[in-house]
Amino acid sequence: PAPLVESGGGAVPAGGSLRLACAGSGYDCLAWFRQAPGKEREGVAGIDSGGSIKYADFVKGRFTISRDKSANRMYLQMNNLTPDDTAMYYCAADVYPCTGYLQRVLYTYWGQGTQVTVPS
C-alpha cells in the first residue's frame, strides 16, 4: 500500500475548526490517533471500508471522520476545538478489516503526523 501522508494541521483559537486529511491507498481500516506531550497515543476515530465508524468518547459529537475511496483520502473534521485537543494527530491504517478501530496495536501503518495546536 501507498504511504500515509497527513495534512491540515495548524494553530486555531479555542472554538475554532480544522479539517485534517490523510492520503493513502490500499487500506481497509483507517483511523485517527493523537498524542499530546507526555501522554499516551490515543484513538480518536476509526472507519472501515464499509463506512462503519467508531469515535472516542471525548469527541462528544465535535469531530466527524469520513473517507473518499475514489480519492484515497480520509478526513477528520474537528469543530469546537479546545486546548485539550492540542496534540500531534496521526493517520493509522491496516489492510485488514477493522476489529478494534481505536486500538493502537491493531494498526500496522502510520503517517508522520500533523500538529494541531489550540492555545489556552
Pairing of strands 10-11, 114-117: parallel
* Measured CA angle at 42 (ends 74, 110), to 5 deg: 45
- 79: which residues sit within 8 A by CB, 6+ positions away? 17, 62, 63
Contacts of 57 (CB under 8 A, 6+ apart): none
CA distance 120 to 117: 9
Q: pLDDT per residue over 38-56, tens digit each?
A: 999 999 999 999 999 999 9
Residue 1 has pLDDT above 90, yes or no: no
Rg for the chain, CA atoms, rounded: 13
Mean pLDDT value of segment 105-116? 96
Mean pLDDT of 63-74: 96
pLDDT interval class at 70 (50, 70, 90): very high
Q: Is 58 helix (H, G, I), strand (E, B) or coil?
A: helix
Mean pLDDT in residue range 9-16: 98
Cell (9 digits) for 71 = 480519492
